[in-house]
Structure 1
Amino acid sequence: MKSRAGEHHHLSHVVSLLDSLLVLFLMAPSAHSWLASKCSVFEDRDYWFSEVDCHGEKLIAKCSRVTDIRQDLQGLPSNLLNLCIKMDAYAPAVPLAAGSFSQFVSLEFLSIHGCFSQIQAGAFQGLSNLTGLQLTSHSTGSSEGCCEAALGASVFHHLTALKTLDIALYKVSNAALEVFDGIPELEKFWINVCMEDWSEVICRLTRLTLVHEFILKAYNVGILKHPDCTNWNIPAGERSLLRNLRNPSLDFHRIEKIEQGVLKYFGDLTHLTLEPWPGVSLMMYLALFGISKINNLSIKGHRLDLGELCQLSETYSTEIIAVDFEIIDTTTVVAVSCDSLKSMYFYSLGNVFNHYLHMNTFLSFTNLSTLGVMAFLLDPLDFRSICLSSPQSVRHLSSLALSKSNLTKLVNDQFLCFVSLETVELSCDRISEIEELAFRGLGQLQVLDLQGNNIWHIRRLTFSGLYALTYLDLQANPISQIETRSFEHLTNLQQFLLGDLNPPPLEANIRLNLTDLFGEIPRGLGYLFISSGLRPMRLVFGTGGETLNRSLSLHIKGQRVTVENCEGSLLKSVVTLRIDSGQVLCGAEFIGRYTRRVEQLRFTSVFPEDVGDIVVINQLVHLRKLSLENIDLSRQPNVAVMFHNLTRLEILALTNCRIDFLDGSLTKDLKSLRGLHLILRDTVKVFSSFVENLFSLRYLHFWNLRIHCSCDNAWLISWAQNSKLVEVHVHDPSIKEMECLAKNGIDHLKFVQYTKDDCSFEVEFVLFAFTSLSVVTFMLAVLFHRFAGPYILPLYHIVQGWFQETLRKDGERRYRHDAFVSYSGRDERWVVEKLLPNLERRGPPFLRLCLHTRDFQLGQDIVENITESLYGSRRTLCLVSRNYLRSNWCSLELQLATCRLQVEHRDILILVFLEKIPSKMLSAHHRLARLVKTRTYLAWPQEDELQGEFWDRMWHKLRPKTGN
């Protein structure tokens, strides 16, 4: 039986495809994604190639040198979450008009750095999702540079979800009295204002009753007096509402005059910063403010009495004190209790070599947990003396930070009694030698920072006893000698930073074996940084065991680095790899060949032309972020396939790289790429195929793009302007100012103007015409295939038969069969039992019949089989029955036979009715009904005596004429 598969071709998916193509190719541009050069968009802040100094993690936009908010922000996506704007400091101040940000309805954080002539009511209208707002003037804090913009009463009324408000260097005196009304959800309010009268702020704050965190910086206040709010109809008793400002923090510079009890309205202070009058007792100075408690106190001045510091800590229950003084008097501290104080920070304002501070000074601070000392001279023996004389006095100390002191050596057992220390920072100092067992006793130490010293020798027992250590920073030290297994005690180490290694000059290559350092690499190691500075290095990673951290971040820095034991477990565990080196090779191959699990790779080369073959990058199929910097990709022999197979790559940055062309061969597999950042050296050719495969691209950033003056590059302008999904940013210069290199290789032309003058017809009209013609052709082809597809081959045979009939002279033609039998599969029993015995087996001559079940070619298309069999037979015999009328294939065979009859004008069609069919049923088949009316047909007799005559007539009709 004939197969009915494919009998009906449903074209709904084809119609949908046509609709999509029409929309894509024929619609007018409805989205403008060509960003002004003043704005950059980042999908997330985890872009290595960019320092995103803007709040938020997702969908961040940064705009700089802005002069007109509406115009310069055109093209930014409407679903922005975080927006940071820097106004042009040299442009005249303009008003911030109402509805300036109404298109960014999803915005959650907005920062504006600049000054306006006025901020109009409704300026932030529509920002119902905004939770953070920052307004900062250009000024650095001087009263002359404060912004005098007028803030109306309804400026913030539309910010119903605002939780954090930060205003800096604006004159509050120019603001309406009710300026801070209408912010129902405000929790954090930070204000750094330019004012001379304390009342300007205080009287406006009485309306803030829900703020959980309040920070006020008033550097320009010379006189601090009780606020006079009578002009605002606020009774003095209601000023106690300021006590609802929880966690208040006040920051003042030197104040000339203070009225008694001026800060009593705030109750307890979280933080207070002061600069007392010279020669005035600190206790007497603080008594003027009327404060009962200060949790965190920062003071700055010339001379400090440490005993008085202890006294005020007890009086005001102060837990944290930071002092910035030139001279500290320590003679009275022993007689005073300092039980309340938990954290102290000392910073010297003078020359470090003139200020000496003994650790014994802090013996009275029995509950001290954090101590920071910077720019004071220290005696390393003080630590020992404390442990000998008063070991209990430092048992509460958990954090110790010493910087810019005269420490040149750490002796053994120096910290023996500091048993509670968890963090020790000895950075940016002059330490050159650490004796063995210097850190003995620090069994709870977790963080040890020794960066920026002069350490050259790491001894076998230098870090003995630091079993809890998780972080060790030895970077920026000229380490020339490390004894075997110096770090084997650090079994819980998670982050290790080592370098700059600097062995004697006679050693051409630095050789570092991690197995020699650790014995066995710590299982929990998650970050490893090794640097040889500007010298070559040979690294041996050794074995780390199969239980090594499976999410290791590895950072290698050096001139040229060769790695041994690349098949070890350490490289197999790397998921983040950063390289700052000319080359990092395993044997003769790039190290990436052995870091197959890496997800983030950043390679910054110091030798752009000689990094080796890095095409192995295309084997890192797990890569999500890739940054290549200062690399000459034009020298890479396989650059065309370097980014193949990277189907998971989301961010690609090429910074200060040289490449000859950008085309589709580079990007064919980057299906997941969302962000693309390009800073390219020299002139580059950019082909339109470069972006054809980037289906997920959302952000494309060009910096200092230099291209050839060619119409092949003109697509970039129109694509950047009309691309619906991709935000395109061309920066330094902007796309309007971008120049292209003329064909003479000397002159530079304005690229936008060049495309208008030389490429507008070629690019716009030709592409439009070609695209339109292609779409129409495609539509016609689909429609023709839908309605005429089955008749293409029959049409060919009809035309061929017509030519043969026209040209034949004697009417002779060779046929394979005497008759093609068209019948329904349901009537096959009659054909086998009746038709074949009475026609094929009767002779001579014996007839040759063509049956689809027997004579069709296997594997050939059904329509093609029907057509070739029908035209390869002298006549067509149609066995008509009810089953025949219900068969689509039989209907097709009858149509083709009728077409042949009309062309050849010969008696080639014989109709046989196997059963009586009512006229009503027959009338539904117009072609067959017309044939019945115009041609003689045979009817199968049911009486046995008439059947013999039926077969005689049939046989005589079908038998070939003599000579054929």
Structure 2
Amino acid sequence: MEEMRSMFSHPAVLFLWIQSSSGWMHPKCQIYDSSEDLEHFPTWICSHIPHHAERYTAACQDVTAIEEDLLGLPPNINTLCISMTHGENRSMSLGFFSQFQDLEYLYIDGCFTQILPSGNSHLLNLQHMYLIDKWGTGSGCCDCHIGPHTFIDLVKLCDLTIQGYRLTAMSPDVFHGIPLLQSLIIIEPCVDDLSEILCRIMTIKSLIELKIVAPEIQSINQSNCSILITNESMKPVFNNLAFSDFSFGEITHIEEDALAWLQNLTMLTGVFSQEVLLDLPLSGIKQIQDFSCSGINVIDIESICNVVFLLSIKKIFVNNFNTSSLSMSSVELCTGLEYMYLSGLGSVHPSPHLKWNFISSLKNLNQLDIDFLRDKNPEICSFQKQPITWLTKLTLLINIQILFAKQFICLVKLQYLDLTQNLISNIEDFAFLGLTNLESLDITSNNITQINANTFYGLHSLTWLDLRNNPLIHNIEAMSFTHLMSLRQVFLGQVHNPLTEPVIKLNLTLIFGGILSQLTHLYISSAMRPMQLTIGILGQTVG
């Protein structure tokens, strides 16, 4: 209290506190001293940047000239987010921001004719900088000239993101000399040659994380960087790189050893033909952790698994594959996979009945997602004589209509089952029998109209059950949930009764029995209709 009294006893301090509590009076900017205040500011420009208590954030909009429009901002700003007006703006000097001694985060959305270095004015605390041109995304790039060593005076800069800026408008040594840069993200640089990126970043020795999103790159060729055209070109350039994420567009050609300078990739995303896909292991890459592949034409699973085996891939995301090629034998080389996402989205060919026995070959697979395919009656366990002990998470979006008894009985270690947005209208008794380890069951957005006493029989470990967005869910038989002894969170969604009944009545004790007292969340909605919930001998009517 003494400290607070002494603070308010000074009239100047009292004035500043009043101003900061409601935002500083500035024609272009609003300033906040907490993340809670910033949440009420109607702008997206600071939404993804972390905010700290007792730090100042300035959010500025409709800025046309930074040095003129941002005059008068307090010097103790920690985070500065700037949204420029649409259209080409004049040049910007980084030296302007040196007046903010505490500045750690600088986010600028806009395009400039050029960006000038800070000169003798060091930004001593700037750690994170984002240069974004969202207006140019998809319709053109920002042709901003950035000269050599522009960022060399940013002595603490560790995180740099550049999006929508044409990389060829920047000097080849634009990133040289940044002493502590660890994370670099380059998105939509408007280049079709990977060398234009590599030659500018390969001297950043401190780099730990690298992300490149370059949809215009279609051919992955040997680098023409002079420093790499030696006998040492086969050695990796980034010795400390721990995370690397490359995303390209439609890849039409991969040259041998074109990626030997990198060798290991955390994530690779691209669109491939089957022929080009098989050239990927010849690129010099030794290992890819996550691989996202969309097919120009339909790709056989066997070809994908060949690449998985050669590059030690752990997770795959596959769109537009040949579903008829899915079998136990076709996925033998995928045995090292831990995660598999298969989608038929974009395929012009109808999906045949899936051969679910392929799961038996994938002994390391713990998560399987199958989306946008069609199998109204998935025979997941009918082929399996032995229980599947490796799969723990399963997501199916395949237009299922009926869940039959013992449908999942072989998945004895399953913990998470997501059946959202199918066409399920009927769940037979004992459909989930055998799922003794299941903890989460999501059946939202289906056509379920009836819950019986044995619908969820056997789900002894279930803690989360979501039934929202199903019609006529009020048809819940007595004692339907009483045996779910681990249940904690239940989402029944909006209940429906015939319009001839003025009040929706639901006896919770009859449905849940003794487990009602252990629930931490019970979500029920009646929209605008009155609802009477009965608990024990008590009734309560809510609107």
TM-score, normalised to structure 2, is 0.85
Q: Which residue is equivalent to 1:421? A: 414
- Cα distance, 1:33 vs structure 2: 1.9
Among candidates 186, 189, 199, match of residue 191 of structure 1: 186
Is the counterpart of residue 305 in structure 1 residue 309 in structure 2?
no
- What amino acid is aligned across from residue 377 of structure 1 in structure 2? R
Among candidates 382, 385, 407, match of residue 385 of structure 1: 382
Q: Which residue is equivalent to 2:463? A: 470
- What amino acid is aligned across from residue 440 of structure 1 in structure 2? L
Among candidates 75, 84, 87, match of residue 87 of structure 1: 84
Q: Which residue is equivalent to 1:364? A: 361
- What amino acid is aligned across from residue 167 of structure 1 in structure 2? I
- Cα distance, 1:124 vs structure 2: 12
SS at match of 1:181: coil
- Cα distance, 1:153 vs structure 2: 2.9
Residues 266 and 281 (structure 1), Cα distance of their counterparts in 2 relative to 1, 3 Å cut:
closer
- What amino acid is aligned across from residue 298 of structure 1 in structure 2? S
- What amino acid is aligned across from residue 438 of structure 1 in structure 2? A
Among candidates 33, 40, 55, match of residue 24 of structure 2: 33
Q: Distance in 1 between matches of 2:508 and 2:292?
A: 45
Among candidates 313, 316, 320, match of residue 318 of structure 1: 313
Is the counterpart of residue 435 in structure 1 residue 428 in structure 2?
yes
Q: Distance in 1 between matches of 2:321 and 2:380?
A: 23
SS at match of 1:102: helix
SS at match of 1:499: strand
Q: Which residue is equivalent to 1:504? A: 498
Q: Which residue is equivalent to 2:127? A: 131
Among candidates 220, 223, 230, match of residue 224 of structure 1: 220
Q: Is the 8 A contact 1:243 1:266 kept in 2?
A: no
SS at match of 2:91: coil
SS at match of 1:313: helix
Q: Distance in 2 between matches of 1:273 and 1:22?
A: 56
- Cα distance, 1:515 vs structure 2: 2.7
SS at match of 2:483: coil
Q: Deviations over 1:41-90 (max 9, x none)?
A: 4722587766863321435444333323345445655444433333222x
Q: Which residue is equivalent to 1:328? A: 323
- What amino acid is aligned across from residue 178 of structure 2 in structure 1? I
Q: Which residue is equivalent to 1:514? A: 508
Q: Deviations over 1:581-629 (max 9, x none)?
A: xxx67xxxxxxxxxxxxxxxxxxxxxxxxxxxxxxxxxxxxxxxxxxxx
- Cα distance, 1:324 vs structure 2: 1.0
Q: Which residue is equivalent to 2:3? A: none
- What amino acid is aligned across from residue 382 of structure 1 in structure 2? E
Q: Which residue is equivalent to 1:159? A: 154
- Map residues 91-106 of structure 1 onto 2, 5 A cutoff: 91-106=87-102
Q: Distance in 1 between matches of 2:248 and 2:120?
A: 31
- Cα distance, 1:325 vs structure 2: 0.6
Q: Distance in 1 between matches of 2:228 and 2:104?
A: 35
Is the counterpart of residue 286 in structure 1 residue 280 in structure 2?
yes
Q: Which residue is equivalent to 1:245? A: 241
Q: Is the 8 A contact 2:487 2:515 kept in 1?
A: no
SS at match of 2:131: strand
Among candidates 350, 356, 366, match of residue 354 of structure 1: 350
Q: Which residue is equivalent to 2:143? A: 148
Q: Which residue is equivalent to 1:63? A: 60
- What amino acid is aligned across from residue 445 of structure 2 in structure 1? G
Q: Which residue is equivalent to 2:480? A: 486
- What amino acid is aligned across from residue 33 of structure 1 in structure 2? W
- What amino acid is aligned across from residue 26 of structure 2 in structure 1? L
- What amino acid is aligned across from residue 451 of structure 2 in structure 1? I
Q: Distance in 2 between matches of 1:439 and 1:158?
A: 62
Q: Distance in 2 between matches of 1:453 and 1:127?
A: 55
Q: Which runs of 5+ in 1 are unaligned?
A: 1-15, 544-562, 567-583, 586-964
Residues 160 and 460 (structure 1), Cα distance of their counterparts in 2 relative to 1, 3 Å cut:
farther
Q: Deviations over 1:23-45 (max 9, x none)?
A: 979xxx99992133664747225
Q: Is the 8 A contact 2:335 2:363 kept in 1?
A: yes
Q: Distance in 1 between matches of 2:452 and 2:223?
A: 64
Q: Once structures 1 and 2 are overlaid, which stretch shifts more, 39-48 or 186-195?
A: 39-48
Q: Distance in 1 between matches of 2:258 and 2:99?
A: 45
Higher relative contact order (CA 8 A, sep 6+): 1
- What amino acid is aligned across from residue 309 of structure 1 in structure 2? I
Q: Deviations over 1:838-883 (max 9, x none)?
A: xxxxxxxxxxxxxxxxxxxxxxxxxxxxxxxxxxxxxxxxxxxxxx
Residues 448 and 35 (structure 1), Cα distance of their counterparts in 2 relative to 1, 3 Å cut:
farther
Q: Distance in 2 between matches of 1:30 and 1:400?
A: 50
Among candidates 384, 396, 402, match of residue 402 of structure 1: 396
Q: Which runs of 5+ in 2 are unaligned?
A: 1-5
- Map residues 593-608 of structure 1 onto 2, 5 A cutoff: none
Residues 540 and 166 (structure 1), Cα distance of their counterparts in 2 relative to 1, 3 Å cut:
farther
- Map residues 823-842 of structure 1 onto 2, 5 A cutoff: none
Q: Is the 8 A contact 1:199 1:228 kept in 2?
A: yes
Q: Which residue is equivalent to 1:272? A: 268
Q: Which residue is equivalent to 1:950? A: none
- What amino acid is aligned across from residue 35 of structure 2 in structure 1? D
SS at match of 1:266: coil
Q: Which residue is equivalent to 2:110? A: 114
| RMSD over aligned Cα atoms | 3.5
Q: Is the 8 A contact 2:141 2:190 kept in 1?
A: yes
SS at match of 1:264: coil
- Cα distance, 1:249 vs structure 2: 1.9
Is the counterpart of residue 533 in structure 1 residue 527 in structure 2?
yes
Q: Which residue is equivalent to 2:437? A: 444
SS at match of 2:304: helix
Residues 19 and 197 (structure 1), Cα distance of their counterparts in 2 relative to 1, 3 Å cut:
closer
Residues 517 and 345 (structure 1), Cα distance of their counterparts in 2 relative to 1, 3 Å cut:
same
- What amino acid is aligned across from residue 44 of structure 1 in structure 2? S
Q: Distance in 2 between matches of 1:456 and 1:344?
A: 32
Number of residues of Structure 1 aligned to a counterpart in Structure 2: 522
Q: Is the 8 A contact 2:24 2:31 kept in 1?
A: no
Among candidates 447, 450, 461, match of residue 457 of structure 1: 450
Answer 1 or 2: which has greater helix percent: 1
Q: Is the 8 A contact 1:98 1:124 kept in 2?
A: no
Residues 527 and 22 (structure 1), Cα distance of their counterparts in 2 relative to 1, 3 Å cut:
closer
Q: Is the 8 A contact 1:98 1:120 kept in 2?
A: yes
In our comparison, the structure showing a higher alpha carbon Rg is 1
Q: Is the 8 A contact 1:303 1:329 kept in 2?
A: no
Q: Is the 8 A contact 2:328 2:357 kept in 1?
A: no
Q: Is the 8 A contact 1:121 1:153 kept in 2?
A: no
Q: Distance in 2 between matches of 1:76 and 1:513?
A: 60
SS at match of 2:509: helix
